[in-house]
């Protein structure tokens, strides 16, 4: 994932988490320091957020969360439209390691804290369709296991007493690598969709960050039409 796209996702996540209590983001110079990138990269990330109606930039005043910004709720995709009894998961790997700098930012944890990384394939209607790599904070989920990974992460999280609020998801068309193709049982270079998810609890905490490579993928959204934002984009 490009650094700009990571920043867009991270800022979206923090807006959902209501981290900017006054509705105002740090200025571009401060954001460049936080993410360790150039101001040009920050300008591009902010421009993306502005174009989709999440923030508005007021010259001389700053970057503000748009009062009328709207979530785009997911209606169905290749997995959600399939009954649970026709979806299986098989774990490829489960390990834990010290959090990287990016993982510290995503989960808002400290240097030295550990993060689980697991890889699994998702089997839909007896056909391998997805390869998923996910990360979760060890401190929140110390007993994560193969049994959990091969069943429902959502059920596991809620059984631990947490309440899931929403997901922030992005999609990028790709072609499969040699390693991905071997696990997905497809030809190298097969068109696929890379799906990146941030899973967020009701208290604003990110509890899972995942990247999924999906073949034979389709998705449908409903997008409420906001006339005010539509007019502001034209103007």
Tokens of 33: 């320091």
pLDDT in tens, 146-155: 999 999 999 9
Is-above-0.85 flag for pTM?
Answer: no
Length of the chain: 235
Q: What share of the chain is helix, strand, coil (3-state, %, to 5)?
A: 30, 35, 35
Distance CA 204, CA 76 (A): 24
The per-residue pLDDT for 25 is 94
Share above pLDDT 70 across residues of the chain, in percent, rounded to a whole number: 88
- pLDDT score at 60: 86
Q: Which stretches in the chain have pLDDT values below 70?
A: 67-78, 80-83, 220-224, 230, 233, 235
Q: Which two tokens stand for residue 201?
A: 């609890």
> Which domains are seen in the chain, by residue range?
3-69 (1.10.10.10), 74-221 (3.40.1410.10)
Token pair in block for residue 76:
């169905």
CA atoms within 13 A on the CB side of 86: 11
């Amino acid at each position: 994932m490009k650094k700009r796209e990571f920043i867009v996702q991270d800022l979206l996540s923090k807006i959902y988490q209501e981290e900017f209590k006054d509705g105002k983001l740090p200025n571009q110079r401060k954001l460049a320091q936080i993410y360790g990138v150039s101001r040009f990269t920050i300008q591009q990330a902010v421009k993306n957020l502005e174009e989709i109606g999440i923030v508005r930039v007021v010259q001389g005043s700053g970057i503000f969360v748009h009062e009328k910004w709207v979530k785009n709720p997911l209606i169905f995709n290749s997995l959600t439209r399939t009954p649970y009894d026709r979806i299986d998961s098989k774990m490829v790997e489960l390990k834990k390691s010290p959090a990287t700098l990016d993982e510290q930012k995503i989960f808002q944890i400290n240097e030295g804290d550990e993060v689980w990384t697991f890889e699994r394939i998702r089997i839909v209607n007896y056909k391998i369709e997805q390869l998923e790599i996910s990360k979760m904070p060890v401190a929140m989920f110390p007993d994560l296991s193969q049994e959990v990974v091969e069943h429902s992460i959502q059920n596991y999280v809620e059984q631990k007493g947490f309440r899931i609020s929403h997901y922030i998801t992005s999609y990028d068309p790709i072609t499969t690598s040699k390693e991905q193709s071997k696990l997905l049982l497809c030809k190298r270079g097969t068109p696929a969709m890379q799906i990146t998810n941030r899973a967020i609890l009701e208290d604003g905490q990110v509890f899972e960050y995942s990247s999924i490579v999906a073949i034979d993928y389709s998705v449908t959204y409903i997008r409420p039409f906001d006339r005010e934002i539509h007019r502001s984009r034209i103007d």
